[in-house]
Amino acid sequence: MELPVSPDTLYSDLKSKIARLEKYKKDPKNGQSNLHHDRFLAEQVIEAAYNFRHKQYNFTVKQLEELDPLVECCVDSLDSCIDYHSTSFDVDHGPYYLILRSGIQFMIEDFESLGLEYEDEDSEFKSNLTYFTGHIESWKTRFGHFDFFNYITHPPDELRRPKEIPADHTWWFEPEFMC
């Protein structure tokens, strides 16, 4: 049984992860030297955003006003994370990619700074996200021919769109998948 987690706890978790990424980026010792760690921190931010919205919580206006400037400082790290997963797409991480893609979609919907970046037709962020989504869709199409090996690698529960995730997150398999 999963214990309930309050929206305040999940909000604090997201805020602290964004702050940690921002602090890491501002430290001159880090620079370009450790892109792996930068991506790791960006993934944690995306996962925290996913966890908040997966529980069907919504941000208050005050919380959005607090977080949006922080998210704006992290756009390049989020983009780097998506670009990395696009260019090194590993089918074994398929279920994780579904979570990352929904997490980034929630962030686009919630945070104006990221939404504006996504709306810009010339943005590298939009291009990388489109490429990443294309990889997921291609993997999903190939995976649709389900066999025993796929079932062992990725049980259907990891692939089905959770009922809390909006239907417009089409990169997930539908809930009826492999019922």
**Which of 89, 8, 104 lies closest to 47, judged by CA?**
104
pTM to 2 decimal places: 0.88
**Which of 136, 116, 138, 135 lies closest to 126, judged by CA?**
116
Banded model confidence at residue 160, pLDDT cuts 50, 70, 90: confident
pLDDT at 10: 93
**Which of 3, 77, 94 lies closest to 42, judged by CA?**
77
Residue 24 above 90 pLDDT?
no
Task: Provide mean pLDDT across the span 48-66.
Answer: 93
Cα–Cα dist 132/85, whole Å: 7
Question: How is the chain split into domains, by residue range?
Answer: 7-159
By the 8 A CB rule, do 142 and 94 touch?
A: no
> In the chain, pLDDT over 70 holds for what percent of residues?
86
Banded model confidence at residue 153, pLDDT cuts 50, 70, 90: low
pLDDT at 91: 81
Banded model confidence at residue 148, pLDDT cuts 50, 70, 90: very low
Full DSSP string of 57-81: ----HHHHHHHHHHHHHHHHHHHHH
Full DSSP string of 27-54: -TTTTTTTHHHHHHHHHHHHHHHHHHHH
Banded model confidence at residue 116, pLDDT cuts 50, 70, 90: confident
pLDDT at 84: 93
**Coil, helix or strand at residue 21:** helix
Cα–Cα dist 178/71, whole Å: 37
For residues 40 and 176, which has the higher predicted lDDT (pLDDT)? 40
Banded model confidence at residue 151, pLDDT cuts 50, 70, 90: low
**Coil, helix or strand at residue 173:** strand
For residues 24 and 149, which has the higher predicted lDDT (pLDDT)? 24
Residue 166 above 70 pLDDT?
yes
Residue 72 above 60 pLDDT?
yes
